[in-house]
Amino acid sequence: MLPDDGWAETIELLGGEDLLTRSARETKAFLRPRGVRSAPDLLRLTRGGFSTKSI
């Protein structure tokens, strides 16, 4: 996984894990998680330049 670098603080600034998860499901960005554990993890992967095909 990517190094922390303040990731927990970033998630809180975005409203917290629950809000991110709810928003990701409502917008259909996180419907079938497969190898990704959570919506914040998906966000972290995409911000790191990774695709879900690489996991």
Structure tokens that stand for 34 in this block: 């497969």
Question: In the predicted model, is pLDDT for residue 23 greater than 60?
Answer: yes
Query: Where is mean pLDDT largest: 19-23, 31-35, 42-46?
Result: 19-23
Question: Residue type at 27?
Answer: T
- Cβ–Cβ under 8 Å, residues 45 and 36: yes
Report yes or no: 29 and 21 within 8 Å, Cβ to Cβ.
no
Q: Is the pLDDT of residue 30 over 70?
A: yes
Residue with tokens 């998680």: 33
CA distance 2 to 25: 23
